[in-house]
A and B are shown apart, each in its own frame.
Chain A
Amino acid sequence: MSLELNVDNLVKSFGQRKLFHVDQLRVGEGESLHLSGENGSGKTTLMKILAGLERPCSGRVMVTPKARRWWSDRIHPQVIYLHQTPYIFSGDVRDNVAYGLRLRSYSRRDVKLKVQQALAWARLEHLAEQPAYALSGGEKQRLALARAWILAPSLLLLDEPTANLDQHSVRAVSELVTQLLDKGTTVMVSSHQKNAVTDLCGRRLHLENLALQELGNAFSNELNNEPELKYYVQH
């Protein structure tokens, strides 16, 4: 199950305007990364490229081991991207959580069981039969996490998961992310500022001046002397 993501010489532009380039990025199993950068620096675009939802202009994203499926696809089944504001399918909360499982060949009983587990995990059991569009922002974010969790992804890309959430919801989301990390899931979180969820992350990546920079490891102290990190802390 160990998944590795490799990026080399990736460039993304929109028309004539270059958005960013990534010289090299390696993400291994069980890592946690915080992707920072100002609004409009390209965090969302980079994460969508990593998830295979958008094409880079040059370079490519390699996810190993490759998925064994009869169709070829840029999108790896073990890599899931979550939008800043989740898209909620019509139907109730249960339908939404079950979406990914129903695409795969699981029996009705297995789906029911796993959906129940996912709802319990995200503390959404009491809302299971509610129409999903009526959920609050925090509940929608938890629903999106449960919808991904149920598929046991190896790499989860969370796009600003706490923007627009109140303190209580931020805490709930960061608890869920902690559990994902404990399970060995690789998690990348984008956010333009520090918060409870980004504090869980070991590696720091920063998008600025059209490039992705590695700012070092938050869990090791020697790096505090690096000028780049100081620069980061000031902002």
Chain B
Amino acid sequence: MAALDLLFSGDAELWSIIWVSFRVSITAILLSLVPAIAVGFMLAMIDFPGRWMVIALFNALMAIPTVVVGLTLYLLLSRSGPFGEMHLLFSQPAMVIGQVLLCVPVLVCMSHSAFQGLDRRAWETARTLGAHCSRAAITMVCEARFALLAAVLAGFSRIISEVGCSMMVGGNILSYTRNIPTAIALETSKGEFAQGVALGLVLLLLALVLNFTLASVRGKGQLV
């Protein structure tokens, strides 16, 4: 009950945490989207020596725990690290970089299999009807749109709910780098459950909305 009160009374602290979460994760997914889908497309379309190794590598990256990505980025960004000069540690940009690193492998792997699920004839038909390579690529994206949407949602789910990397490179500073997962971890460790439960409800609601959206567009765009 205390949790619901917090949510609906417009508690400033609570909403600043939600805002940080969405701001960081949406920025990260927008930055990753086009390059990652382009890589997934090229892995599906272009046969080059060592292609399977690149695919295996991205699959492996997908399984790396978020704290390990956080640790690596921490070492790179800390004062004595190679990018220490940029003073990015414990800032939103650092969190964005971390989340980009976390969602790119998911987007690459899932968009690669989305394009793989398409037919080579789709590409050939577009090309023979006069589409330039880039235009034919856009056609392929349209044809694979449901699977690509699923990829984007999977990538977004991974970063909106990850705690390890945000905690390490963000530093959990209130109103700046404290996001939903790090706030839940902190409040729970202090024995204050109301805020944690309220934030947990937001994540749960988000997961439901995203997945129902996906299911409904998929249902309409059914294949034969």
Residues in A lying within 8 Å of B, measured CB to CB: 48, 51-53, 71, 73, 75, 77, 79-81, 83, 85-87, 89-90, 99-100, 103-104, 133-134, 147-148, 151
- Output the least CB separation between A55 and chain B (Å): 12
Query: How long is the Cα–Cα vector from A52 to B131 in the complex, in angstroms?
Result: 13
| B221:A90 contact, CB within 8 angstroms | yes
| B224:A81 contact, CB within 8 angstroms | no
Report A-chain residues with C-beta under 8 Å of the C-beta of B132. Answer: 71, 73, 103
| A51:B130 contact, CB within 8 angstroms | no
Chain B residue at smallest Cβ distance from A67: B130
| A103:B130 contact, CB within 8 angstroms | yes
Report A-chain residues with C-beta under 8 Å of the C-beta of B126. Answer: 99
Q: Which of A77, A85, A90 contacts B130 (CB 8 A)?
A: A77
Query: How long is the Cα–Cα vector from A62 to B1 in the complex, in angstroms?
Result: 77
Report A-chain residues with C-beta under 8 Å of the C-beta of B139. Answer: 89
Q: Does B142 contact A (CB under 8 A)?
A: yes
Name, among A52, A103, A147, the residue most crowded by chain B CB atoms within 10 Å (CB to CB): A103
Query: How long is the Cα–Cα vector from A104 to B129 in the complex, in angstroms?
Result: 10
Q: How many residues belonging to B are interface residues under a CB distance threshold of 8 Å?
A: 19
Report B-chain residues with C-beta under 8 Å of the C-beta of A83. Answer: 121, 124-125
- Chain B residues 106 to 150 lying within 8 A of chain A, measured CB to CB, are 119, 121-122, 124-132, 135, 139, 142-143
Q: Does B223 contact A (CB under 8 A)?
A: yes
Interface readout for B149-187 with A: 1 if CB under 8 Å, 0 if not? 000000000000000000000000000000000000000
| A75:B122 contact, CB within 8 angstroms | no
| A53:B135 contact, CB within 8 angstroms | no
- Given known A-B contacts A87-B121, A89-B139, A90-B143, A103 and B129 have beta carbons under 8 A apart: yes
- Output the least CB separation between B115 and chain A (Å): 14
Query: How long is the Cα–Cα vector from A148 to B114 in the complex, in angstroms?
Result: 28
Report B-chain residues with C-beta under 8 Å of the C-beta of A147. Answer: 129
